Chains A and B, each alone.
Chain A
């Protein structure tokens, strides 16, 4: 067992424990913190795969920005401890069971495949390090269309936010 495998097991375990903790903690702030731990462990896994840029972006975007906003909302709403009964409505229960079974089946399928398929298990991931240069080149050549579409979606979201905020403030002015 080499160092990479040890690190993989470590990061994998932390990420799993964090993911389980997200749904087991009763307090939303602790759940959010567990999610951050999971994101961190996943960033570690990305580093092991040689994708340093993805790891850094994972931390910057998810742990550094999105989760801060999550915490912000939780703190501002001052959410208390949630009870399981209140959190899950009866309508959603059947849906949740079906999704759970699907997810379990998927997991078992992948696990079985991985056991049979030796090519996956013996892949050498850390041999290549993806640099930002490679990613930039791919984004502006092979994946140009998806890249531009994503930026358009972001632009639309940006304009949407401005319109929403603007309307509110105009109404306020009229009410005055």
Chain B
């Protein structure tokens, strides 16, 4: 064990290099996939000219961004304007440090866990780091000195603060059953088979968590921060060239990290029917990494799928949904999980209880909302465009 620190340092550096490059390449592939999948969903082709199947399109885009003039408008607050894209990109990059990508790999007699850092507060670290992303958006918006940007930034920060609560509360049920905050322990505790994974035991919390994550990444049903029809491009209206590209990359990086965290927490990490234990000490590590990779990729596809399927929320709908549906569901999931786990100690009962209680809560909230909403005052019927009125106009 004399040269242990040296091995630790070298393996850490290698892991960091690999993971960071995977993230950056992942961003490029995600941009390509987003455009191709959206094209496929809308019955058109999408970019297919640069390279095979258009795979090199992101490279071309990146080059274009690099060679574009880096414009800094006169009316901006220059230091913050320059800093903001980095403040969004850096949290997205460093959050990945605690995500376990696979079991462990044995190289030259040293067992190296496939994770950059296994700290015992892993999930809190993720929450802490991702909560900082909001600064990039808010400061970029404010520094742009532009009404549309500022509106986008304010919307985005209000949204992120609201949905962060659900994000944090959705995890607590898992923490109670695993009794650990370390992402590696959480992944290991889930067994090899899908029915042992957390998403079945905490199904409502899983739905709340993923929905909140969509909101945190500013993806389409929740992309009010950059609603094109209302705000030009929201917080990055005044950004051009590589600075805009950094905002763009940060969004995709957040998606990748978010998917990886969801796979770790809810979808069994690198487990898949015991496949991860096949092969020797080297191969099992690589296979587990591959399983994790595929699971993350599938989840990322869901991201794209949702974006091109669902229309955008209105702002009051967004806030109502977050505070009146997601938050109560996450809170009940905590109470129910705690009570049922202590009394029965059975994951099956916890899982059933969670679903039932979430159903009850949602119906109570919905009926309360329906009762509370005042009936719309009957409008002057002459102002309405009824079919007959349309006929009259014609």
A residues near B, CB below 8 A? 29, 33, 36, 52-53, 56-57, 59-60, 63-65, 68-69, 71-72, 75-76, 129, 131-133
The 8 closest A-B pairs by CB, nearest first: A64-B131, A56-B124, A59-B128, A60-B128, A52-B121, A56-B121, A56-B128, A75-B142
With A and B bound together, what is the CA distance between A58 and B134 in angstroms? 17
With A and B bound together, what is the CA distance between A29 and B80 in angstroms? 10
Partner of A75, one of B125, B132, B150: B150
Residue of A nearest to B131 (CB): A64
Pair B121/A68 contact, Cβ less than 8 Å: no
Q: Contacts A63-B132, A64-B164 known; list 19 others, CB within 8 Å.
A: A29-B142, A52-B119, A56-B127, A59-B129, A59-B131, A59-B132, A60-B128, A63-B131, A64-B132, A71-B135, A72-B138, A72-B154, A72-B157, A75-B142, A75-B150, A129-B120, A131-B120, A132-B121, A132-B181
Enumerate chain B residues within 8 angstroms of A72, measured Cβ to Cβ.
138, 154, 157-158
With A and B bound together, what is the CA distance between A69 and B181 in angstroms? 27
B216 CB, min distance to chain A CBs, angstroms: 12
Enumerate chain A residues within 8 angstroms of B161, measured Cβ to Cβ.
65, 68-69
Enumerate chain A residues within 8 angstroms of B119, measured Cβ to Cβ.
52
Pair A36/B135 contact, Cβ less than 8 Å: yes
Pair B142/A53 contact, Cβ less than 8 Å: no
| Interface residues of chain B: helix, strand, loop or mixed (majority) | helix
Given A29-B80, A36-B135, A132-B181 in contact, is the A60-B142 Cβ separation under 8 Å? no
Pair A75/B154 contact, Cβ less than 8 Å: yes
Pair B138/A75 contact, Cβ less than 8 Å: yes
With A and B bound together, what is the CA distance between A64 and B87 in angstroms? 13
With A and B bound together, what is the CA distance between A63 and B212 in angstroms? 20
Partner of B138, one of A57, A65, A68, A131: A68
Enumerate chain A residues within 8 angstroms of B138, measured Cβ to Cβ.
68, 71-72, 75
| Interface residues of chain A: helix, strand, loop or mixed (majority) | helix
Partner of A132, one of B80, B120, B142, B164: B120
Enumerate chain A residues within 8 angstroms of B134, measured Cβ to Cβ.
64, 68
- 20 A–B contacts from the bound complex (CB under 8 Å): A29-B139, A33-B80, A52-B120, A56-B124, A56-B125, A56-B127, A60-B131, A63-B128, A64-B127, A64-B128, A64-B132, A64-B134, A65-B131, A68-B161, A69-B161, A72-B138, A75-B138, A75-B153, A132-B121, A132-B181
Enumerate chain A residues within 8 angstroms of B158, measured Cβ to Cβ.
72
Please provide the chain B residues from 335 to 376 with a CB less than 8 Å away from any CB of chain A in the complex: none
Please provide the chain B residues from 68 to 116 with a CB less than 8 Å away from any CB of chain A in the complex: 80
Enumerate chain B residues within 8 angstroms of A71, measured Cβ to Cβ.
135, 138-139, 142, 157
Enumerate chain A residues within 8 angstroms of B124, measured Cβ to Cβ.
53, 56-57, 60
Enumerate chain B residues within 8 angstroms of A133, measured Cβ to Cβ.
179
Enumerate chain A residues within 8 angstroms of B154, measured Cβ to Cβ.
72, 75-76
Enumerate chain A residues within 8 angstroms of B135, measured Cβ to Cβ.
36, 68, 71
Residue of A nearest to B134 (CB): A68
A146 CB, min distance to chain B CBs, angstroms: 22
Residue of A nearest to B129 (CB): A59
With A and B bound together, what is the CA distance between A63 and B80 in angstroms? 17
Residue of B nearest to A53 (CB): B121
Enumerate chain A residues within 8 angstroms of B121, measured Cβ to Cβ.
52-53, 56, 132
**What does the 1/0 interface line of B246-283 toward A look like (CB < 8 Å)?**
00000000000000000000000000000000000000
Enumerate chain B residues within 8 angstroms of A57, measured Cβ to Cβ.
124
A85 CB, min distance to chain B CBs, angstroms: 24
With A and B bound together, what is the CA distance between A29 and B120 in angstroms? 34
Please provide the chain B residues from 131 to 190 with a CB less than 8 Å away from any CB of chain A in the complex: 131-132, 134-135, 138-139, 142, 150, 153-154, 157-158, 160-161, 164, 179, 181
Enumerate chain A residues within 8 angstroms of B181, measured Cβ to Cβ.
132
With A and B bound together, what is the CA distance between A36 and B119 in angstroms? 23
With A and B bound together, what is the CA distance between A56 and B132 in angstroms? 12
With A and B bound together, what is the CA distance between A69 and B119 in angstroms? 29
Given A52-B121, A53-B121, A131-B120 in contact, is the A60-B80 Cβ separation under 8 Å? no
Residue of A nearest to B161 (CB): A68
Residue of A nearest to B150 (CB): A75
Enumerate chain B residues within 8 angstroms of A69, measured Cβ to Cβ.
161
Enumerate chain A residues within 8 angstroms of B125, measured Cβ to Cβ.
56
With A and B bound together, what is the CA distance between A144 and B248 in angstroms? 47
With A and B bound together, what is the CA distance between A97 and B181 in angstroms? 47
With A and B bound together, what is the CA distance between A117 and B102 in angstroms? 49
Enumerate chain A residues within 8 angstroms of B153, measured Cβ to Cβ.
75
With A and B bound together, what is the CA distance between A30 and B125 in angstroms? 25
